[in-house]
Amino acid sequence: MPNPDCPPPASAKQPNTLTYSLTSPTIPPVVPEAEEVLPLAGLIDIGLQNSPATRIAWYQAKQAATDVGTARGAYLPSVNLHCYWLKEQFPEVDLGIEFLNRHKYIAASVSTSYLLFDFGGRNGTLMSTLSALDALDWYYNWEVQTVMMNVIQSYYDYINAESIVIADKATVEDNLTTLQAAIARRETGATSLSDQLQAETSLVQSQIVLEQDIAIMHIAMATLVRAMGLPADTPIDVSELPENIESEGVCTDIANIMQIAKENRADLWAFRSRVLEKRFEIRTAKSALLPTLTTDLAGSKQSLNGQRYIDAYSMQFSVNVPLFSSFKDINELRKTQAALLEAQANLDRVELTAFLEVVSDYYELLAGEKILSHSYSYVNIATENRKVAFAKYVAGTTTIIDLMVANNALNLARKQLANAKTNFLSSLANIAYDTGNLKVGDLCLGNEYPPWTEEVNEEE
């Protein structure tokens, strides 16, 4: 199994400071400079530095690395040094004569014990800990991708909410212009009070919608700030999306994308490593049912009253054959075998879910590509239609209802374009995330697309 590069998150290298509760250390968050306009790459960078999820995954991997070191220690002998010094004095009586008996004793000994053979038990333990470390390394990489995706999605949600507010403001301006035209025509006697009241109703409705969408925009900003690992009330300023986004020919090969997802998704590799871990645990459990061969060596030098030194040593080989252990070992083996089947089932479940995500986001991307193209046309047509309807109303050749219908159509077209932009970019980010290839350069910044789209286009 490959062991992916696992650099520590930047926040893991920062000095710890105690909280006011003095119960746990915390990491000071990275806060952007005031008046700094952050692009999406800057938002992701801050999010990765502040994310507690990446730190948790990183330190879990560090703990697993210590388990590997412990398992490797089973291949080394245990060596113990024991030193003993005794000096004592006590009275004795011999043949009615009292005297003091003095005794001094010095000894030093070295003993070692080494497991020679255990039918693969040590190897199974070592390989299972290595597989567990691989799984946590892959999990850390997936957490990095997930944090990036959360920031990206929150950014697009905010941009979408902001675009909706801009569209609402334009609608309020259109309705205000309509009201002014209705008032002017009423003053000339060309229309009745009904036109003015209908125009005022549309204006008030659009103002209410504007205030509701402004609240949604502020909530989206708070969600974005939270995804960056900052308090929700932290003020930030983000860059806007390009006015025009090229969406043609982004992706047309689902088989290629499925293969990339199968090979690159870190969460799949994490579950595959868990399956290997359970397989090696079975090897360890089987070895508990088999004999073990151990050797023990010991040597010492002893002195008696500091006058004579005696060398002593011993060497033995022992074979331990488990005959009956109250069914403990056999049931441990059965437990690990069931755990292997469970891990395999979890892998199958995650693979099915992952491939469904790829297919779903792929077709959403294809639909978003066409919807975005149509949305540009929709806005252009609705804008011209509103201009014509307004000119006709001012000229008195149409009614206020026709103008209000045109206003509503233009409002829907603006919101549709805002949604189409962010939905297309979200689908593009989702398909990159689903394939395990989410990088900042894969996003539609300056109309740059993921590298696999270029490969697909070359094949076509």
Q: Residue 83 pLDDT > 80, yes or no?
A: yes
Rounded to an integer, the average pLDDT of 45-53 is 90
**Which residue bears the tokens 């409002």?**
411
Q: Across residues 264-283, what is the average pLDDT?
A: 93
The strand pair at 17-18 and 25-26 is best described as antiparallel
Q: How many CA atoms lie within 13 A of 407 on its CB side?
A: 27
Q: Give the per-residue pLDDT at 304.
A: 65
Residue 17 domain flag? no
Residue 101 has what pLDDT? 76
Residues 116-132 pLDDT 10s: 888 889 999 999 999 99
Which range, of 22-26, 75-79, 317-321, averages the lowest pLDDT?
22-26
Q: Which long-range contacts (CB under 8 A, 24 or more apart) does 173-178 make?
A: 174/386, 174/407, 174/410, 174/411, 175/199, 175/202, 175/203, 175/206, 175/407, 176/203, 177/390, 178/202, 178/203, 178/390, 178/393, 178/400, 178/403, 178/404, 178/407
Average pLDDT on 415-425 reads 93
The answer to whether 373 and 248 are in contact (CB under 8 A) is: yes
Instruction: Classify the C-alpha dihedral 445-446-448-449 as positive or negative.
Output: positive
- Is residue 87 situated within a structural domain? no
- pLDDT given at position 458: 38
Would 320 be classed as within a structural domain?
A: no
Residue 442: the pLDDT is 45
Evaluate if residue 7 carries a pLDDT over 80.
no
333: its two tokens: 């083996």
Summary mean pLDDT of the chain: 85
pLDDT of residue 447: 40
Confirm whether 303 is domain-assigned: no
CATH code of 337's domain: 1.20.1600.10
User: Kindly report the CA angle at 113 between 107 and 117, in degrees rounded to 5?
Assistant: 165
Q: Are 359 and 254 in contact (CB under 8 A)?
A: yes
E-strand stretches of 333-383: none
In a domain, 305, yes or no: no
Query: 98 lies in a domain?
Result: no
Residue 19 covered by a domain:
no
Give dist(CA 88, CA 337) in Å, integer: 60
Owner of token pair 């009275």: 91
Residue 428 has pLDDT above 60, yes or no: yes
Tens digits of per-residue pLDDT, 145-170?
999 999 999 999 999 999 999 999 99
Tokens of 359: 């297919």
pLDDT at 21: 45
Percent composition of the chain: helix, strand, coil (DSSP 3-state, to 5): 65, 15, 20
* CA–CA distance, 28 with 327 (Å, rounded to integer): 53
Query: pLDDT of 247-258, one tens digit each?
Result: 766 666 788 888
Residue-range definition of the domain harbouring residue 191: 28-77+119-291+328-459
Residue percentage of the chain with pLDDT more than 70: 87
Residue 196's CB is within 10 A of a number of other CB atoms, namely 21
Provide the number of structural domains found in the chain: 1
Give the pLDDT confidence of 292-316 residue by residue, as tens digits.
Answer: 899 998 888 777 666 677 788 888 8
Band (pLDDT 50/70/90 cuts) for residue 85 is: confident
Q: pLDDT for 89-115, tens place per residue?
A: 777 777 777 777 777 778 888 999 999
Tell me the whole-structure pTM to 2 decimals: 0.79
Angle in degrees, CA 133, 43, 148, rounded to 5:
35
In a domain, residue 413? The reply is yes
In the block, tokens 């009292």 appear at 98
Q: What is the model's pLDDT at position 89?
A: 78
Which stretches does DSSP call E strand in 8-164?
Answer: 17-18, 25-26, 37-38, 78-94, 97-117
Q: pLDDT: is 2 or 414 the higher one?
A: 414
Alpha carbon distance 225, 208 (integer Å): 26
